[in-house]
Structures are given as structure tokens and as C-alpha cells.
Structure 1
């Protein structure tokens, strides 16, 4: 009779959920594999069996973070109004990024080739995340709303603005009292309008 499979997808999901919570509550310093295993009621052996290493676990978390943003962007119903569609997508991006703030910082940590922020799987997730932006931008170009440039250029400029402003907000980079939500939307609208014919 085969031995029961104890290191299964359910355990993997529990570990990822709890790791995400620890990361959100305490940042990367609060996430150790021993603590994670203990809080989920399993062994560190199970964690290593499922993920291989802490960097691999973090890479999986990053991929999940990108997937959450992508899922949220795909929920935005595109109306055919290219300007408003891109603004709504940019707003949804910010909201989702801020809701997983500690994970978002990790997602874009960068660094060497072993960094979770540069893992191949994570790069693939990022492309999926950005597809709704590309779709809305291409539609705007095809409709003659935007300049005759590749839609990917427009989408990338919107994403660069969104990502930069989210990072400023997460790190409170701008002067005290800066109104992030209002200024974010105004700037986002200006970026999109800048591509109009």
C-alpha cells in the first residue's frame, strides 16, 4: 500500500499563505523556514521538500504577488475609452500593490541572478501582469486615440509611472504631507493624455 502523500498542494498553499502573512506583518526578517513550518504545523523538511530553499519560497511568493496584480487588472472591464481604461488599470495596479506592500518591495528587489526579483518564473508573471495595459494601449492606437507608436511603448510608460509612484509611496520618499492618492491619479491621467493625438 503506498504511503500517504503528506507534502501536497494543500500544505503548499498553507505555507504560501502563512509566509505571505508573515511578510506582510513583519517584512522579510520575520520569515524564517523554521518559524513558518512551526506555525503551519509541519516540519522544515516539508518546507524544503516543497520549495527547495528559502530563496525558492520567496520566488514563489513573488510569482504569487505578480499573479494577484494580474488577476486584479484582468478584472478591470475595458470600455473602449482608451484614456479612462488605462487610468483605471493604473489605479487598480496601485491599489493591489499597496495591499501587499511588503511583498511588492520583495517582488522588485532586483540583485543577482538568484534574487527572487529576477527569477525566470517571476519575469513570466510580470509579462502576464502587464498584458491588460498592452491591450488597452494597442486598442487606443488602433482607434486613432493615441499617437501611432507601438502600444507596448505606451503601456510601458504607464507602468513605469505606476511602479515608480508606488515605490515612492511605499517608502514615503516624497516630502511629508504629500498627497499620494490624489497626485497619483492626476499624474497617471497626464501621462496617458500625453500619448493622445
Structure 2
């Protein structure tokens, strides 16, 4: 389906808003998670010594997608559920003075059954997971821009499940541009 753009299609912020960067950003963050062996063990194993247990096999890693690493913001409140994270993009705003950049808030909910919080040496699983995620995202290149840590908050859902939420600012780039037409002679850079 063709996407037609003209001055009448701009939103009130004078910025294009197709959200084409969303899938790539989510794919990038999920990929970072799947490459982090410590994070995968913290999500897969509920044992307090999760970090000393064997690395996950390909099948075990694949099983994390949709169960322990989610991009659909659906909560599962079950006292026996394995730890999981929900990766979301929210608060899309224009980047002042730009028509090709958006600021977006990356939020990551980290949820664990309270019975699985304690690891070893006073380490708590949600914060160990948060440390792994922060090490991968903060001040790192993530889908068009540098991830900038904006804060975290505790997340208490019920008597069985809780954790924390991390927040990062990201800048998306070339949201509406087709790479092959960006610099083509006579092209305005937008899809027709």
C-alpha cells in the first residue's frame, strides 16, 4: 500500500509519524537480550545460583521469546511463573527542529515471583536483571541513537509478583525514509 505524504499529512508537531522504527528498535533490544548469557540465565533459571548454572542451549534460548522476553505488554500474574521482562516503546514525541527524528521512551518491566527474588550475597534477581539490561542499553547505540537512562521505579503487582521498571530515552532516525531513495536525484526521500 502506497504511503502518500504532503504538507496536509504532517501532524501538529510538524513531524512525520509513521512509527516505522518501532519494529527495528524492538528487534534490536530483544537481540541484545538474547546475546547476554547472564541475563538469559537470570530469566530462565529460578534457582538462587542461576548465574553459576550452565549456559542455555539454542532451544532454551528460543523458549525465552514470548515467555520471558516479551514485546506485547500483557501481564501474567502467577506465583509460579518464571521471571520475565516486557519491552515497550512509549511517549513518542518530536525532536525539536527536526522532521526525521523522534524521541521515544523505552521502558522495560522486570517481573519476578517474590519467592525467586533472592540470589546469593544479598543480590536480588530483579536488580541483577536490571544491571544486565542497563549495561547493554545505557550510553550504547540502540536502533538509531544512544540509549540514555532516565530512571527506574519499583513495581509491586500483588503479594506474589513484583520487580522494577527501567526507562531510557532513545532517538529514532529515518523513521519515514526509504534508504534507497534518501539521496536519489529528484527524490524528497519519502515513500510514494
The TM-score with structure 2 as length reference comes to 0.29
Q: Which structure has the highest strand share of the two?
A: 2
The higher-RCO structure (CA 8 Å, 6+ apart) is 2
